[in-house]
Amino acid sequence: MRKEETGVLARNGGMHRQKQYRQIKAMLEGHGYKRPRLYHLVMMDAIGADGAGPYLNAIKALCLHLRGFDIPTRWRAALERDDEKGLHMHVFMLVDATAHDAGLIINPYKGTSSAKNRTRKGEKRKPAPGWLRDMLARRGITLYLSQPKAEMHRVGGTAEGKRKNYASIAGDKLADCQEWLSYLVKARSKPEDIRGIYFSSRDSLHAPHIGPAEVDPAANGQTDLQAA
């Protein structure tokens, strides 16, 4: 099987697994989202992490919370290990920001632990800043948002524009997002002693509304995930 090359892969030891790259890029196809946004999350320092479990439970909790606000999600992830970050997980998450600004939730740098989301009777419930930071703190997980590097994803699409935490995938931005996704399959930092290091959501065109995630789903340790 001929391995694809991208600038991202060339800087990071080349391709680790071509088959996984095809499945990862498929996340950007057939989603039906009106306002798709692509985020790159780096999760580190999970309490008692000797495998993917703590990170996958955190991803599930985040997805449940997003979908509770009518924000559909898809994601792809890879487990890595290096001297600086130890065992950590890279997650690319595609969301539909039509109903709400997903950035109010996918932002560990904003909000306070006492933030309350109060609305008047009859008003639509809105996301409250601070939820993600608190959820991750309970697991001892540190989260870093890796911003897209290309100028086209900045405000105004120029080098002078402010960098965003996400990339949109419309038009010529799609090809750049596909290359960005190749970071998951870079050969550098892939652990050789762990069998399953690639993970993904079970994608659907129309994600069901399941209600706000008031209960932490990691309490029972269940995951609804696919691993490879």
Kind and range of the H or E element at 61?
Answer: helix 53-68
Contact 150/176 with Cβ under 8 angstroms?
yes
Question: Looking at the whole model, is its pTM more than 0.75?
Answer: yes
Is 156 domain-assigned? yes
Is 217 domain-assigned? no
The radius of gyration computed from the CA coordinates of the chain, to the nearest angstrom, equals: 17
Mean pLDDT of the chain: 83
Q: Is the pLDDT of residue 180 over 90?
A: yes
Map tokens 């800087």 to a residue: 11
Contact 180/40 with Cβ under 8 angstroms?
yes
**Higher per-residue confidence, 205 vs 133:** 133
What's the rounded Cα separation, in Å, for the pair 183 and 177? 10
- The amino acid at 150: A
| Total number of domains in the chain | 1
Is 1 domain-assigned? no
Greatest mean pLDDT among 49-53, 77-81, 193-197? 77-81
Is 163 domain-assigned? yes
Q: Is the pLDDT of residue 222 over 50?
A: no
User: Any idea what DSSP says for residue 28?
Assistant: G
Is 209 domain-assigned? no
